[in-house]
Amino acid sequence: MKEKRILVVFLVVVALVSCTYDYFVDETNYKIFVPGVANGTFKGCYVAVYDETGTFVKSRGTAVSRDDPRVKAGIFGFRLQPGKYTAYCYANVDDVQVIEEESADRACIAMKTVTRDSNAYALPSEVVFRKLTPEIGNVYEQRVDTAILERYVGRITVRFKNVPVSLPDVTRVQLEATGVATRQYFSRDTITSRLTERDYIFDEATVPTGISGHEWEMDHYYFPSLAGELTRLNVRFLNAAGDVMNEIPVEVIDAKTIRPLPLLHGRRIILEIDSYTIIGIGLTGWNDDIGHSGREI
């Protein structure tokens, strides 16, 4: 009876050692830890590794590895030969496309199209990112990097005062944003791009009931601005019958120079509109707020 108990204990210990070895001492020698995946903060994560020439090596993502216990724990591991690499990590990507290519010059994240027409795209999610440049020496040496991600998208907040429409009668608001970026190539950091000049963002939201007065605020995420491009937000107010009650064009410009105002990654632009006129513009951090144009340009 004593021999049987010893055998059982021995088998349990072997099993534990085996699990520990598989999990911690496996053949991966480069790992990126993304805590937001483990705690459920992020919706989707994608990591791609390219070699020194910009050629694709390997990728890992929650979309194809949902049952992998390491991915569930936020660990994206790779087996890499000695050399220099670039790792691109993007999280909150469930609402954007990840286009994987053999070359980092062609691989990108892109907004998803909507059924309105071939040039219409949906607003992006709150994408965060980090680019890492590991150098792997001894192939058996294990490197562990923690990905402290930064915000990729920016925010544009528009505050309407004295809206020339009866807000209680508004049931939906449509947004058409032109002059916007719709894709981000991996190798270009935060220098954005698009497929054609006809690309635009379309969004339609239901207005909560019980709105009174003449003030309205909208806040959306966008990819960083295209260099030198004017972003124009066309806002339509619709009633229950689907009729357009009014349309207000908002140009994202510097009020002093009348030049396009660029939206940088992780930043926020607040525009205050009185009727059809910009009366205040604020450039702030992601979570900063400006009340009544407290910091005008």
For the chain, what are the domain ranges?
A: 27-92+127-151, 154-285
- Note down pLDDT in tens along the chain; length 297 residues: 444 443 333 233 333 333 333 334 467 899 999 999 999 999 999 999 999 999 999 999 998 776 788 998 999 999 999 999 999 999 999 999 999 999 999 999 999 999 999 999 999 999 999 999 999 987 667 778 888 899 999 999 999 888 888 888 889 999 999 999 999 999 999 999 999 999 999 999 987 666 666 788 899 999 999 999 999 999 999 999 999 999 999 999 987 888 999 999 999 999 998 888 888 888 888 888 866 543 332
Residue 174 near residue 218 (C-beta atoms within 8 A): no
CA distance 13 to 3: 16
The predicted pLDDT at position 12 comes to 32
Name the pTM for this structure: 0.84
In angstroms, the CA 24 to CA 227 distance is 45
The pLDDT score that the predictor gives to residue 210 is 60
Top CATH class of 154-285 equals: mainly beta
DSSP secondary structure code for residue 197 in this structure? T
pLDDT (0 to 100) of residue 173? 93
Topology alike, domains 27-92+127-151 and 154-285: yes
Query: What is the tens place of the pLDDT at every residue in 147-168?
Result: 889 999 999 999 988 888 888 8
What is the per-residue pLDDT for 3? 44
Distances (CA, A) of 209 to 162, 167, 172, 218, 220: 19, 10, 10, 16, 20
Instruction: Provide the token pair at 143.
Output: 């490197």
Question: Residue holding tokens 């032109």?
Answer: 178
C-alpha–C-alpha distance, residues 125 and 221, integer Å: 7
What pLDDT, on the 0 to 100 scale, is given for residue 165? 85
CATH hierarchy code of domain 27-92+127-151? 2.60.40.2100
